[in-house]
Amino acid sequence: MGSELDYGTIMCWADNVVGQQKEPCVFHLIAAGKPEMPYNCSLVNQTSESLEVDCAEVGTTCPWRKPFN
């Protein structure tokens, strides 16, 4: 996680030959927090260059959470 200054709201406007944007684009940057510890992991594919591990999906306390793979 970064500092408090790394989060907040970003607004942007644009214009081009078609015209000027009337309402800004708005992006809210928030800290998502640390993921939960993976569990029940198993090796599902291994080559000389890579490996793939699947773990049981943990609770979804964050809407942006992605399963561990």
- pLDDT tens readout for residues 2-44: 677 788 999 999 999 999 999 999 999 988 777 778 888 899 8
Domain containing 21 equals 4-56
Quote the number of domains for the chain: 1
Would you say residue 10 lies in a domain? yes
Q: How far apart are CA 59 and CA 67, in angstroms?
A: 10
Q: Over 60: is that where the pLDDT of 61 sits?
A: no
Specify the range with the lowest mean pLDDT, choosing from 16-20, 49-53, 56-60. 56-60
Would you say residue 61 lies in a domain? no
Cut 0.75: pTM above it: no
Would you say residue 44 lies in a domain? yes
Would you say residue 62 lies in a domain? no
Would you say residue 66 lies in a domain? no
Would you say residue 69 lies in a domain? no
pLDDT of residue 37: 81
Q: Which residues pair with 8 in a beta bridge?
A: 29
pLDDT of residue 5: 78
Q: Over 60: is that where the pLDDT of 68 sits?
A: no
Would you say residue 45 lies in a domain? yes
